[in-house]
Structure 1
Amino acid sequence: MNGEIFNPNPTVFALSKRSGRKSKFETGRSLWIDNEGPLEQTDDSEVESIDQDEIFDLIRSIADPEHPNSLEELRVVSAEQIDVGQNHVTIEFTPTVPHCGMSTLIGLSIRVRLLRSLPQRFKVDIKVKPGSHQSELAVNKQLNDKERVAAALENPALVETLEKCLETAGMQSELYD
């Protein structure tokens, strides 16, 4: 991006302990999206539900755009900040500093990871934790406007940075072995 580091010395936290269950996402592939072809669903009553831990597993290892740490290590995201309804996911994230210029990129990384992994039936809202960013309303508006997100994803430099953040997504299982 512009080379300015907004938080040159972030606090890095230990990774949370995993629950005893195996995540559906540890293979790096979505259970809902078949990379080989279209998903066939024959019976609407067989819709599989997901919970906040599964969503957290999808986003916890996304790399921070400024540091060699995951969003979980910087406490930008946590399972407690995720709300899952029947077909609706709301994620609240906490920037490391109130003036973080990377907040929109972090939120966009979370949105793209979920768009690539969840079934299309899910509506996803991404929000900055209230009171944690000086431009909270502007960031929230940017992250939840389809046209603004689409325009951002047409910027090759931004997409390249975004892909670097997402390279580590889904790799958290190696950290617990």
Structure 2
Amino acid sequence: MSDPINANPTVIDINNLPTRLNTLDDDASALEGKNAKLISEITSLSLLSYPNIDNGDLTSLEESLTSSSLSSNAASDDDVDVDVDDDDDIVDTEFTSDSRTVATANNDEDPIDEQEIFDLIATISDPEHPLTLAQLAVVNLDDISIQHAPRNQISTVTIKITPTITHCSLATLIGLGIRVRLERSLPARFRIKIVIKEGTHQSESQVNKQLNDKERVAAACENDQLLGVISQMLSTCK
């Protein structure tokens, strides 16, 4: 007889789930706060008078600082010509702002962060409920961590999952679905580690061993019936 499911799980409103847009808004708010603090410090030290400051209007000061910053950046981005004289040959090298931009774009990849991992697994369907893993708080942004390694080395993504009940019999299936989703979506340079969050399951160590044993995972992925269930779980992924 299978274990009873959690008939009344706690459900998070989909509008309250963390998104990339929310993250950008938080970053913008933090930047705005830093700018306001910087302006305050500058005006307190400056010997110049700012007629609009007393009225609380910092628009003219912000425009002045922005204009100064843009001028500084423009000066630093001017073309630089370098002539190197050698006994054997002469090398003429030109570095332009455009060439530096192209080089940066070619050499640097946008790093994969915790929000991107969360976005990949948040919409996986729970096998017991018509809800997603994020809505049931089985996966949470705060329980995702990434250890970035230098280029050409393996980085590690660690995800802690929280079963809806401590005796959930499908915890292994949920973890397997998350692993399949990430292995299909992430570059090969990422190692995936999935564990049960401490104290949330009575068979925590056993489930962790199953989820991170390569041979067991490979055998499970060869089971057509099991793959059918996982495919159904992943069908709601965006």
| TM-score bracket for the superposition, by shorter chain length | 0.7 to 0.9
1:162 alignment partner AA: I
Q: CA deviation at 1:112?
A: 0.4
SS in 2 for 1:120: coil
Structure 1: state its 5+ residue gaps.
23-43, 171-177
1:81-119 deviations in Å (ceiling 9; x for gaps): 000111110000100000000100000011000000000
Q: CA deviation at 1:3?
A: 6.9
Query: Which residue of structure 1 aligns with residue 66 of structure 2?
Result: none
Query: Which residue of structure 2 aligns with residue 85 of structure 1?
Result: 147
Q: With structure 1 as the length reference, what TM-score do the two structures score?
A: 0.78
- How many residues of Structure 1 are paired with residues of Structure 2 in the alignment? 150
Which structure has the bigger radius of gyration? 2
Normalized per residue, the structure richer in strand is 2
Q: Which segments of structure 1 move beyond 6 Å, counting only runs of 4 or more?
A: none
Normalized per residue, the structure richer in helix is 2
The reply on whether 1:125 has 2:193 as its aligned counterpart is yes
CA distance in 2, matches of 1:169, 1:96: 20
Give the share of equivalent positions with the same residue, in percent. Answer: 50
CA distance in 1, matches of 2:4, 2:231: 19
Q: With structure 2 as the length reference, what TM-score do the two structures score?
A: 0.59
Query: Which residue of structure 2 aligns with residue 8 of structure 1?
Result: 7
Greater relative contact order (Cα 8 A, min sep 6): structure 1 or 2? 1
Q: Specify which of 99, 107, 118 is matched with residue 167 of structure 2.
A: 99
Query: Which residue of structure 2 aligns with residue 41 of structure 1?
Result: none
SS in 2 for 1:20: helix
1:11-32 deviations in Å (ceiling 9; x for gaps): 211121533279xxxxxxxxxx
1:52-83 deviations in Å (ceiling 9; x for gaps): 00000000000000000000000001110000
2:121/2:178 contact within 8 Å kept: yes
Q: Specify which of 190, 195, 207 is matched with residue 139 of structure 1.
A: 207
2:193/2:212 contact within 8 Å kept: yes
CA distance in 2, matches of 1:118, 1:19: 18
Query: Which residue of structure 1 aligns with residue 113 of structure 2?
Result: 51
Q: How does 1:148-163 map to 2 (within 5 A)?
A: 148-163=216-231
Q: CA deviation at 1:49?
A: 1.4
Structure 2: state its 5+ residue gaps.
24-105, 149-154
- Structure 1's 150 and 9: CA in aligned 2 closer, same or farther, altered over 3 A? same
CA distance in 2, matches of 1:111, 1:10: 23
1:118-162 deviations in Å (ceiling 9; x for gaps): 000101100000110011001000000110000111111111111
What is the RMSD computed on CA atoms of the aligned residues?
Answer: 2.2
1:6/1:99 contact within 8 Å kept: no
Q: Specify which of 105, 109, 129 is matched with residue 177 of structure 2.
A: 109
